[in-house]
Amino acid sequence: MQLGKELLYLSYADVAAVGPDMAETIAIVEQAFRDKGSGVTQLPAKTALHPLDEDAFLHAMPAWVPSHQAAGVKWVSGYPGNAAQGLPYIAGLLILNDPGTGLPIAVMDCAWITAQRTGAVSGLAARHLALPGAETAALLGAGVQGRTQVRALLTEVRTLREVHVFDPRQEAMDSLTQDLGQEFPSVHLAPAAFPEEAVRGADIVVSAGPILKHPRPTIAREWLKPGCLGLPVDFDAMWTGEALNLDNYLVDDLAQYRYYEQQGFFAAAPEPAGDLGDLLAGRCPGRTNPQERIISMNLGVAIADMPTARVVYDRAIAAGKGRILPL
């Protein structure tokens, strides 16, 4: 491929064919957050548009991650109403640039990377914050993101033996538990009749529904056992204010969290102790005792997208995947 004259286009299928597995992706995002903790990444806050309504978004997400020579921007949409039309909730494109010249080198579908890296960030948070020996997990939301969340937890937390799944769509619950049950036969995956049944007694609780400007919170503080780790990937859509106010509250990136506070999210949440970069750099505490209940609020950041995309690009070039397009 001739720099400055051509770029590589990768479809969803191309990306999925060469994308890193979950263990590799967790390692990729951990290095990105270590870079962030060292102050060498560049991560401007998301720029958002809401063309349809306040729950339907278009986000521009740029980032620079030196350890992977990964610079670029993701242009991603999330439209909750798409499901009724048989369309995906999350869609978009990611552009990678050559960091030495600024020239574009690739345009690729971003949906696979978005799902994979979001699961990987939860896996990373679980590595550092989950109760040692955690055996049970709960998932609220059995869509595309729910699958990668469970896959990440079962990849990272090898002591997990049970995952209880709730989704208002019975077919989504059945499909996820059957498919991942075949992938992880030593783990019992089971649908739950209602959210409380899934959450009570769980060592790790993941919420993976749509992001809502005006949440309809479900998860109550009294459902959360001592020592549990909460991993919301849908902002505060499912968590009551009381459920967020536990013993320790972390986010993936403080600057982006502040931006969303200004937009009206997290009104009932406590002050964060720090973000994942701070945690990995030792500037804020992780788990301090077995009884501590912790929330790690993962908003989704481009420092997780760009290095994952760079690995995809390098592997696609080596494997001859995608199409070379003229600039």
Do residue 183 and residue 295 come from a single domain? yes
What is the per-residue pLDDT for 53?
Answer: 87
Q: In whole numbers, what is the pLDDT of the chain averaged over residues?
A: 96
Residue 82 lies in a domain: yes
The count of other CB atoms within 10 Å of the CB of residue 80 is 16
Average pLDDT over residues 137-154: 96
Question: Are residues 311 and 176 both part of a single domain?
Answer: no
Please report, for the domain that includes residue 170, its CATH number. Answer: 3.40.50.720
Least confident of 17-21, 61-65, 265-269: 265-269
Which range marks the domain in which residue 273 is found?
Answer: 129-300
Length of the chain (residues): 327
**Together in a domain, 296 and 319:** no
Confidence of residue 98 (pLDDT cuts 50, 70, 90): very high
How far is residue 231's CA from residue 320's CA, in Å, rounded to a whole number?
Answer: 37
Angle, helices 144-156/170-183, rounded to nearest 10 degrees: 30
Confidence grade of residue 54 (pLDDT, cut at 50, 70, 90) = confident
Structural domain count of the chain: 2
Model pLDDT, residue 216: 84
pLDDT at 83: 86
Give me the pLDDT at residue 215, please: 84
E strand intervals along the chain: 6-10, 47-49, 57-65, 70-78, 90-97, 104-109, 136-140, 162-166, 188-191, 204-207, 229-232, 248-251, 274-275, 294-297, 323-326
C-alpha closest to that of 52 among 80, 74, 75, 84: 80
Give yes or no: residues 105 and 158 share one domain: no
Type of residue at 49? L
Q: What is the pLDDT of residues 172-197, one digit of tens each?
A: 999 999 999 999 999 999 999 999 99
Which one, of 90, 55, 94, 44, lies nearest residue 73 by Cα?
A: 94
d(CA 285, CA 206): 21
Q: Do 23 and 52 lie in a common domain?
A: yes
* CATH code for the domain in which residue 12 is found: 3.30.1780.10
Q: What pLDDT was estimated at residue 213?
A: 85
Question: According to the model, what pLDDT value does residue 226 have?
Answer: 98
CA atoms of 85 and 83, how far apart (whole Å) = 5
Is residue 143 located within the same domain as residue 292? yes
Give the tens place of pLDDT for each residue, 204-250: 999 999 888 888 899 999 999 999 999 999 999 999 999 999 999 99
One domain, residues 63 and 168: no
